[in-house]
Amino acid sequence: MSPPSSDIDYLILLYDVARLMRLRADQRARLDGMTRAQWIILTWLERQPGLSQNELAGLVEVEPITVGRLVDRLEARGFVERRPDPSDRRVRRLHLKPAAQPILEKIHTYKHELNGVMMEGIDPASLKQLADSLFRMKANLGEQSRDAAKAG
């Protein structure tokens, strides 16, 4: 049973849930000799093929040099290739190779399993309300960030 809402530290609660999700994903990724960060890169490239390393670094919130090292490892395994940007010869675009597909299928399967574990015992209406609330929190924080950037 959860404590009264006035006693809940939502920041800690969200942090703990996210930490446990990351921990589980790290453990699962290691079974394939990979890291969660590599999984995240593969997932982003599946969603948005042709990202540059700098664009990808912004999405995964790490330094471009870190993305470069991760991509080097994925490229060595035959999962990713760098292609020249047709409009800017300084930029290399990242694309998945067919060898990445089995790993992506494992990632999708695992995400589905993890969602099942996390949502166990929670009714669909509550999950919908949770999602709506989290989207609202995200929007609130995004608006606050934009307002601060305008003021500063």
What is the predicted pLDDT for the residue at 112? 95
pLDDT surpassing 80 at residue 152: no
pTM over 0.75: yes
Mean pLDDT, to the nearest integer, of 65-89?
Answer: 94
HSE, side-chain direction, 13 A CA sphere, residue 72: 6
Sheet with 88-96, strands from edge to edge, namely 51-52, 88-96, 80-85
What is the predicted pLDDT for the residue at 122? 95
Amino acid identity at 124: P
Residue of 127 and 3 predicted with greater confidence = 127
* Mean pLDDT, rounded, of the chain: 91
Which residues make Cβ contacts (< 8 Å) with residue 147, sequence separation at least 6? Answer: none
What is the predicted pLDDT for the residue at 150? 73
Structural domains present in the chain: 8-120 (1.10.10.10)
Query: For 79-93, how does the pLDDT look when each residue is reduced to its tens digit (9 = 90+)?
Result: 999 999 989 989 999
φ, ψ at 62 (rounded to 5°): -135, 170
Quickly list H helices, 31-123.
36-47, 53-60, 64-76, 101-119
Q: Band of the pLDDT at 143, cuts 50, 70, 90?
A: confident
Query: How far, in Å, CA of 102 to CA of 79, rounded?
Result: 10
What is the predicted pLDDT for the residue at 8? 87
Query: For 89-128, how does the pLDDT look when each residue is reduced to its tens digit (9 = 90+)?
Result: 899 999 999 999 999 999 999 999 999 999 999 999 999 9
Q: Band of the pLDDT at 151, cuts 50, 70, 90?
A: confident
Q: Band of the pLDDT at 135, cuts 50, 70, 90?
A: very high
**Are residues 52 and 93 in contact, defined by beta-carbon separation less than 8 angstroms?**
yes
